[in-house]
Structure 1
Amino acid sequence: MIDREDLIRNIREFHAQSADRPFVPGVTEIQSSGACLDADDKTALAEAALDMRIAAGGLAHKFETSLARKIGTRKARLTNSGSSANLLAITALTAPELGDARLRPGDEVITCAAGFPTTVNPILQNGLEPVFIDIDEHTYNASPELIGAAIGPKTRAVALAHTLGNPFPVAEIAEICSDHGMFLIEDNCDAVGSTYRSRRTGTFGDLSTVSFYPAHHVTTGEGGCVLTDNLVLARIVKSLRDWGRDCWCEPGESNRCGRRFGFELGSLPYGYDHKYIYSHIGYNLKATDLQAALGLSQLAKLDDFCAARRHNWLRLREKLDGIDYLRLPEPTPGSDPSWFGFAMTVMSDAPFDRFGIVNFLESRRIATRGLFAGNLLRHPAYSNISHRVSGDLTVSDHVADRTFWVGVYPGITDEMIDYMVASIREFVAGFRRSPARPLESSIEEKR
Structure 2
Amino acid sequence: MSHRKDRLLAEVRAYHREQESGGRFEPGVTEIWPSGAVLDANDRVALVEAALTMRIAAGSDCRKFESAFARRLGLRKAHLTNSGSSANLLALTALTSPVLGERRLRPGDEVITVAAGFPTTVNPIIQNGLVPVFVDIELGTYNATAEHVARAIGPRTRAISMAHALGNPFQAAEIAELAEAHGLFLVEDNCDAVGSTYRGRLTGTFGDLSTVSFYPAHHLTMGEGGCVLTSNMALARVVESLRDWGRDCWCEPGESNRCLKRFSYQMGTLPEGYDHKYIFSHVGYNLKATDIQAALGRSQLNRLDEFCAARRHNWRRLREGLDGLPHLLLPRATEGSDPSWFGFVMTIGPEAPFTTAELVAFLEERRIGTRRLFAGNLTAHPAYQGVEHRVSGTLTNSDIVTGRTIWTGVYPGLTDEMIDYVVTSIKEFVAARG
1:165 counterpart SS class: coil
Q: What's the RMSD between the two structures over aligned residues? A: 0.7
Aligned residue type for 2:406 = F
Q: Equivalent residue for 2:162?
A: 160
Distance in 2 (alpha carbons) for counterparts of 1:20 and 1:65: 36
Q: Deviations over 1:163-185 (max 9, x none)?
A: 00000000000000000000000
Aligned residue type for 2:5 = R
Distance in 1 (alpha carbons) for counterparts of 2:407 and 2:430: 16
Tell me by how many angstroms 1:299 deviates.
0.4
Q: Equivalent residue for 1:98?
A: 100
Tell me by how many angstroms 1:420 deviates.
0.3
Q: Equivalent residue for 1:256?
A: 258
1:232 aligns to 2:217 (yes or no): no
1:395 counterpart SS class: helix
Aligned residue type for 1:139 = T
1:16 aligns to 2:17 (yes or no): yes
Distance in 2 (alpha carbons) for counterparts of 1:64 and 1:258: 24
Q: Equivalent residue for 2:348?
A: 346
2:350 counterpart SS class: coil
1:315 counterpart SS class: helix
Aligned residue type for 1:4 = K
Distance in 1 (alpha carbons) for counterparts of 2:53 and 2:342: 34
Q: Equivalent residue for 1:442?
A: none
Matches within 5 A, 1:34-73: 34-73=36-75
TM-score, normalised relative to structure 1: 0.96
Q: Equivalent residue for 1:390?
A: 392
Tell me by how many angstroms 1:21 deviates.
2.3
Distance in 1 (alpha carbons) for counterparts of 2:368 and 2:26: 12
Q: Equivalent residue for 1:438?
A: none
Gaps of 5+ in 1: 433-447
Q: Equivalent residue for 1:410?
A: 412
Q: Equivalent residue for 1:325?
A: 327
Distance in 2 (alpha carbons) for counterparts of 1:374 and 1:35: 24
Tell me by how many angstroms 1:22 deviates.
1.3
Aligned residue type for 1:73 = L
Distance in 1 (alpha carbons) for counterparts of 2:252 and 2:22: 41
Aligned residue type for 2:207 = G
Percentage of pairs with the same residue: 69
Tell me by how many angstroms 1:155 deviates.
0.5
Distance in 2 (alpha carbons) for counterparts of 1:325 and 1:56: 51
Q: Equivalent residue for 1:173?
A: 175
Distance in 2 (alpha carbons) for counterparts of 1:254 and 1:154: 43
Q: 1:274 aligns with which of 273, 276, 297?
A: 276
Q: Deviating runs (4+, > 2 A) in structure 1? A: none
Aligned residue type for 2:10 = R
Distance in 2 (alpha carbons) for counterparts of 1:229 and 1:371: 31
Q: Equivalent residue for 1:375?
A: 377
Aligned residue type for 1:369 = R
Q: 2:137 aligns with which of 120, 135, 138?
A: 135
TM-score, normalised relative to structure 2: 0.99
Tell me by how many angstroms 1:20 deviates.
2.9
Q: Equivalent residue for 1:422?
A: 424
Q: Equivalent residue for 1:295?
A: 297
Distance in 2 (alpha carbons) for counterparts of 1:39 and 1:159: 38
Aligned residue type for 1:57 = G
| Count, aligned residues | 432
Distance in 2 (alpha carbons) for counterparts of 1:46 and 1:21: 26
Aligned residue type for 1:5 = D
Q: Deviations over 1:16-72 (max 9, x none)?
A: 112232111000000000000000000001010000121001110000000001111
